[in-house]
């Protein structure tokens, strides 16, 4: 393990806020975690950080911060039709996706170019372009910092939901060390979502391979989303709210074009980005922070600002959306 004191987390959060951590420890192995446990480090509150791409840091951190650097990419078993691959939690998510795509193993190619680490992917069951990790997730191995025991979690144990999991509901209890996925050797591609099919058509690809889907997703994401290297952000700041179909009918009286997707017989998912844009926030700027000009769901930091400015802006948007649509927007980003 490597220890640092009074270190800036500016390069470790994609909003780019200059927050100090009193103690930061890079962990490279399960043995490092066991040593920290034996030394009583988990008797106090602590935080685990991966790529810092789903975090809003609002104040200096006096508790121990662990930076997960457990590395591994390994094919652990295979059948005639599937492979099971095992990744260290500290691996970069996109690199893990590329490793699978380049080997012809399908199932996570729609999740190309999502920032962050493999270990954080189960926390909010990352999803994009009609796919979530729960669709191919096999199991994970995690350390319980209260009991000092390792445990295997199956797909069912993780209680995955929309941008949700058992771990999101139990913060500060588990350190995810390894994650496994079962992928297909004869993948069926999924191009039904958003602009993927349009890009394939433009590229005259009629029988897309997983590499084509991955390339299409990378193109769409690169053109639509702000790159944190250029403008600080944490992706979608709010979750898409789920409301009843009867509430939708009421809202449609005033807003017939509201963007909604049926979930089941009684509920619909509303595009939070549509609500924020319709309420007039797209491109809004206040001091050092604002709402992205092309994607209203993404709050941005232009530099020199504070995490608390983003939090204040997010709360203002929350109130405004509630006043206009009677819909509560929930934060997707973790606030520290
Ligand atoms: P961090 O931000 O470091 O941490 C997030 C949470 O996970 C924290 O609570 C942290 O304590 C916990 N955590 C991290 N690692 C571990 C571990 N090993 N053990 C236990 N807890 C841990 N998300 C999507 O779902 N879909 C998208 O399409 C998407 N697009 C994005 C686009 C952009 C431009 C950005 C900036 C973000 C996007 N996100 C998206 C959000 C983000 O990329 C994901 O949530 C990602 O999984 C976060 O990974 P991370 O390693 O950066 O996690
Ligand atoms: P988009 O394609 O413009 O769609 C806007 C919204 O409508 C999305 O929130 C999406 O919900 C929903 N949607 C669109 N087509 C849908 C369909 N066929 N079925 C169900 N829901 C549909 O969205 P975007 O902003 O460019 O993002 C594209 C994808 O990347 C989305 O899946 C989005 O979730 C993901 N993304 C996530 C983050 C993050 O930080 N979480 C950041 C950027 C992009 P879903 O979000 O439920 O898919």
* CATH number for position 116: 3.30.465.10
194 lines ligand 2 (CB under 6 A): yes
- Residues 293 and 331 placed together within one structural domain of the fold: yes
pLDDT of residue 194: 82
Q: Do residues 11 and 44 both lie within one domain?
A: yes
Domain match, 173 and 114 both:
yes
Distance 248 CA to ligand 1 centre (A): 31
Question: Is 301 part of any domain?
Answer: yes
Q: What is the CA radius of gyration of the chain?
A: 21
pLDDT digits (tens, 9 = 90+) for 102-117: 999 999 999 999 999 9
Q: Alpha helices of 39-170 — where are they, by DSSP H?
A: 93-102, 166-169
Residues of the chain with pLDDT under 70: none
CB 225 within 8 A of CB 218: no
Residue nearest ligand 2's atom 15 by CA: 194
* Known active-site residue 249: no
Q: What is the pLDDT of residue 215?
A: 98
Residue 199, domain member (yes or no): no
CA dist 170 and 305 (Å) reads 30
Q: Which of 86, 103, 84, 95 is nearest to 209 (CA)?
A: 103
Contact partners, residue 7, CB within 8 Å, separation at least 6 = 20, 21, 24
Do both 110 and 152 map to the same domain? yes
Count, residues in the chain? 336
Is the distance from CB of 209 to CB of 234 less than 8 angstroms?
no
Cβ-in-10-Å burial (0-12, 13-18, 19+) of 105 comes to buried
Using DSSP, state whether 54 is helix, strand or coil. coil
* Whole-number pLDDT of residue 97: 98
**Whether residue 92 is found in the same domain as residue 48:** no
Main-chain phi, psi angles of 293, to 5 degrees? -70, -25
Residues 51 and 162: their CA atoms lie apart, in Å, by 21
**107 and 42 co-located in one domain:** no
Residue at a domain's end among 16, 35, 68: 68
Residues 154 and 87 in one domain: yes
Assigned domain for 224 exists: no
Distance from C-alpha of 187 to C-alpha of 208, rounded to nearest angstrom? 10
The answer to whether the beta carbons of residues 101 and 214 sit under 8 Å apart is yes
Asked if the structure places residue 214 within a domain, the reply is no
pLDDT at 231: 97
In a domain, 200, yes or no: no
Q: Which of 53, 109, 117, 163 is catalytic?
A: 163
Q: How far apart are CA 319 and CA 202, in angstroms?
A: 41
Summarize pLDDT for 198-239 with one digit per residue, the tens: 999 999 999 999 999 999 999 999 998 999 999 999 999 999
Ligand closest in space to the Cα of 33: 1
Q: How far apart are CA 71 and CA 29, in angstroms?
A: 8
Q: Residue 330 carries which DSSP code?
A: P
pLDDT at residue 48, rounded to an integer:
97
Residues 309 and 255 in one domain: yes
Domain count, the chain: 3
CATH number at residue 20: 3.30.43.10
Q: Clarify whether residues 240 and 159 are in a common domain.
A: no
Q: Is residue 314 part of a domain?
A: yes
**In this structure, is residue 324 part of a structural domain?**
yes
Q: Whose CA is nearest to atom 23 of ligand 1?
A: 126
Beta strand residue intervals within the chain, DSSP E: 2-8, 20-27, 46-49, 55-56, 61-68, 73-78, 82-88, 127-128, 131-132, 137-144, 150-154, 174-184, 232-236, 242-244, 260-262, 267-270, 285-286, 289-291, 298-301, 334-335
Q: Is 174 inside a domain boundary?
A: yes
Global confidence as pTM: 0.97
How far, in Å, from the CA of 55 to the mean position of ligand 1?
7
Which atom of ligand 2 approaches the CA of 236 most closely?
Answer: 40
Residue 35, domain extent: 2-68
- Residue 56 DSSP code: E
Q: Which atom of ligand 1 is nearest to the CA of 175?
A: 19
């Amino acid at each position: 393990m490597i220890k640092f004191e009074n270190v800036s987390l500016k390069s470790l959060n994609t909003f780019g806020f200059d927050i100090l951590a009193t103690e930061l420890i890079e962990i490279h192995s399960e043995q490092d975690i066991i040593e920290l446990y034996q030394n009583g480090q988990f008797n106090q509150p602590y935080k685990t950080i991966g790529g810092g791409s789903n975090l809003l840091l609002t104040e200096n951190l006096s508790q121990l911060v662990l930076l997960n650097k457990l590395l591994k990419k390994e094919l652990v078993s295979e059948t005639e039709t599937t492979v099971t691959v095992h990744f260290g939690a500290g691996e970069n998510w996109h690199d893990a996706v590329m490793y699978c795509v380049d080997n012809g193993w399908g199932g996570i190619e729609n999740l190309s170019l999502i920032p962050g680490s493999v270990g954080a992917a189960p926390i909010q069951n990352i999803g994009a372009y009609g796919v979530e990790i729960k669709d191919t997730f096999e199991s994970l191995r995690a350390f319980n910092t209260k009991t000092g025991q390792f445990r295997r979690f199956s797909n069912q144990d993780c209680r995955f939901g929309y941008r949700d999991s058992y771990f999101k509901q139990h913060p500060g209890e588990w350190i995810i060390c390894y994650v496994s996925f079962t992928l297909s050797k004869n993948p069926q591609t999924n191009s039904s979502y958003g602009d993927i099919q349009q890009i394939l058509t433009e590229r005259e690809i009629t029988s897309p391979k997983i590499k084509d889907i991955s390339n299409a997703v990378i193109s769409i994401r690169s053109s639509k989303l702000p790159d944190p290297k250029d403008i600080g952000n944490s992706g979608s700041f709010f979750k898409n709210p789920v409301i009843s179909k009867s509430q939708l009918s009421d809202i449609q009286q005033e807003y017939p074009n509201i963007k909604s997707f049926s979930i089941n017989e009684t509920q619909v998912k509303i595009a939070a980005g549509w609500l924020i844009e319709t309420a007039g926030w797209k491109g809004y700027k206040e001091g050092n922070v604002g709402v992205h000009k092309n994607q209203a769901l993404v709050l941005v930091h232009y530099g020199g600002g504070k995490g608390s400015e983003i939090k204040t802006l997010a709360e203002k948007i929350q109130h405004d959306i509630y006043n206009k649509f009677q819909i509560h927007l929930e934060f997707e980003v973790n606030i520290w």
